[in-house]
């Protein structure tokens, strides 16, 4: 399975790096491929190290203005011209998407895939990995959107919320299969 992970490139505390590394090792041990922003910094590096160190493949999609931060020695690396093209390529290469902790860029990527799912443009499974309750407020906002009629489909059809990496991987393997 090719799993796209949207996440921060910031250097973060063990609160966030431990679960990210755990999920990355699950990807690698299962022989899956990480599809990610291609950065060799911060949490992106933690995840790439975990996948690579446990036997998984790395497929990066960076963007021209961040080309100096790409990870060397990956299995496949593409440099997009702009952020819009980068998102499109990341999603095209993936069988599933996991949203980890991040800032505005991660939130932008999350809403992109949610919009595609909402309009039936993709059936790709989406998991929001809610490490340390990071996305509790967003989860509450999504529920309010659903309750007040802003979503044309049930929230449960759009995104799966997982509190732990093992639950995220179990959901993906159930939904996509192990191929």
pLDDT tens digits, 72-120:
999 999 999 999 999 999 999 999 999 999 999 999 999 999 999 999 9
Alpha-carbon gap, residue 93 to 87, rounded angstroms: 10
Quick check: 126 and 160 in contact, CB under 8 A?
A: yes
Residue with tokens 């990071």, as numbered in its chain: 134
pLDDT tens digits, 110-152:
999 999 999 999 999 999 999 999 999 999 999 999 999 999 9
Report residue 174 CA to chain centroid gap. Answer: 17
Strands (E) across 7-53 are located at: 33-36
Quick check: 160 and 125 in contact, CB under 8 A?
A: yes
Quick check: 89 and 80 in contact, CB under 8 A?
A: yes
Quick check: 124 and 94 in contact, CB under 8 A?
A: yes
Alpha-carbon gap, residue 46 to 54, rounded angstroms: 12
């Amino acid at each position: 399975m090719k799993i796209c992970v949207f996440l921060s490139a910031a250097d973060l505390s063990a609160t966030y790096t431990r679960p990210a590394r755990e999920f990355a090792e699950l990807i690698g041990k299962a022989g899956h491929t990480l599809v990610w922003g291609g950065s060799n910094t911060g949490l992106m590096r933690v995840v790439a190290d975990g996948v690579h160190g446990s036997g998984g493949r790395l497929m990066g999609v960076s963007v021209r203005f961040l080309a100096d931060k790409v990870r060397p020695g990956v299995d496949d690396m593409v440099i997009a011209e702009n952020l819009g093209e980068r998102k499109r390529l990341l999603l095209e290469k993936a069988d599933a998407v996991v949203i980890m902790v991040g800032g505005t860029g991660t939130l932008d990527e999350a809403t992109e895939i949610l919009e595609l799912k909402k309009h039936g443009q993709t059936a790709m499974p989406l998991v929001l990995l809610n490490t340390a309750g990071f996305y509790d407020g967003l989860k509450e906002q999504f529920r309010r959107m659903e309750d007040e009629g802003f979503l044309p489909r049930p929230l449960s059809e759009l995104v799966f919320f997982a509190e732990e990496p093992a639950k995220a991987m179990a959901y993906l393997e159930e939904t996509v299969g192990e191929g």
